[in-house]
Amino acid sequence: MKVASLGECMIEFSQRSDGSFRRGFGGDTLNTALYLARLGIDTSYVTALGDDPLSEEMLAAWRSENIKTGLVIRASGRLPGLYMIQRDARGERTFLYWRDRAPARDFFELVDRDQLKRLAQFDWLYLSGISLSLYGEAGRARLRELLAATRQNGGKVAFDGNYRPRGWSDTATARRAFSEILPLVDLALPTFEDELALVGNETPDRCIERYRAVGVREIAVKLGPRGCVVTTGGDCIEVPPPKVVEPVDTTAAGDSFNAGYIAARINGAPPREAAAAGHRLAGAVIMLPGAVIPRASMPASVFRSGEKT
């Protein structure tokens, strides 16, 4: 099984406990791609970068994590975006962005037909609401064509809503973009808090029904410390985390949960066990600062005995 994750990676400055900042690389779909690769999934990252030294560092860092980069586009004279993470006493984070000229925003203007044909041959395409916010109307139209071609070829599409209001001109545009993409989604991994901000009068059950109504067959709604609710068309199953922890930094909690869930499903685990795998990985990630934890801090066993690995 081969997975391609589409979106944007930026230069990340993450605040340490002493107020200083650590430089790294991050982005929601890149975080998921990295954790998928660490879990043994054949993963490619798909984006556009510049031709600058920091873009080269990104590519080298991804390759060192066994992420394939053959479909990364290089844009001459451009620079990647930058973001800063500030954390409060509870570990909750605030993001500041400098990304308006990032080449990832122009991916579907830069990509050629042959590259799109290669993408449409993947077993899974993964993207998020942040991915949608990058591309603009024309780019999103080409994205929908790509997703439809992938499904026609027997592939599947996984989508995390990951709604960030600052990435959109207005809420109505975001709602329309989501409504256009959801009929092409096989696995939805929304965060309830994001759905509440996007839709308004929402409950987890209403969220699930809304996704079901447009044909999404498998849905895992992330509920923060409560865990998640999972359904594949029948009953809804609430899956709590194995233990409640006091987070150090919640950055990439949802991204890592998605990686654990998708990896488990690819390896044959049923949805309940896939959700438990997502919780185990996310539980480790939120106990350290930054989006990407050291390899040595990865949980010893995301997949429990009885689940395939």
For the chain, domain boundaries? 2-297
Residue 41 has pLDDT above 70, yes or no: yes
Task: Give the DSSP letter string of 110-179.
Answer: H--HHHHHHHTTSSEEEEEHHHHHHHHHHHHHHHHHHHHHHHHTT-EEEEE----GGGSS-HHHHHHHHH
Backbone angles phi and psi of 288, in degrees to 5: -135, 155
The two structure tokens encoding residue 39: 């879990």
The percent of residues above 70 in pLDDT, for the chain, comes to: 97
- Of the listed ranges 6-15, 41-50, 57-66, the least confidently predicted one is 6-15
CB 242 within 8 A of CB 280: yes
Q: Which of 28, 160, 249, 255 is catalytic?
A: 255
What pLDDT score was predicted for residue 10? 92
In terms of CATH architecture, what is 2-297? 3-Layer(aba) Sandwich (3.40)
pLDDT tens digits for 88-128?
Answer: 777 676 878 898 889 999 999 999 999 999 999 999 999 99
Work out the average pLDDT over 51-63. Answer: 95
3-state secondary structure of 196: helix
pLDDT tens digits for 230-273?
Answer: 999 888 999 999 887 889 888 899 999 999 999 999 999 999 99
Distances (CA, A) of 171 to 163, 168, 178, 198, 214: 10, 7, 11, 7, 20
Q: How many CB atoms lie within 10 A of CB 154?
A: 8
What pLDDT score was predicted for residue 97? 86
Considering the chain, what is the average pLDDT of its residues? Answer: 92
Beta bridge partners of 72: none
Query: Does the active-site annotation cover 255?
Result: yes
What pLDDT score was predicted for residue 14? 78
Beta bridge partners of 229: 221, 238
Work out the average pLDDT over 29-44. Answer: 98
State the DSSP H helix or E strand holding residue 64, giving kind and residue range, or none if neither: helix 53-64
Work out the average pLDDT over 178-187. Answer: 98
Work out the average pLDDT over 213-222. Answer: 97
Residue 70 has pLDDT above 90, yes or no: yes
252-277 burial string, b = 16+ CB within 10 Å, else e?
bbbbbbbbbbbbbbbbebebebbbbb
Work out the average pLDDT over 196-220. Answer: 93
Residues 6+ positions from 228 with CB-CB distance below 8 Å: 220, 221, 222, 238, 239, 257, 275, 278, 279
Helix axes 171-181, 192-199, angle to 10 degrees: 120
Q: What is the DSSP-derived secondary structure letter of residue 217?
A: -
At 305, is the pLDDT very low, low, confident or very high (cuts 50, 70, 90)?
very low
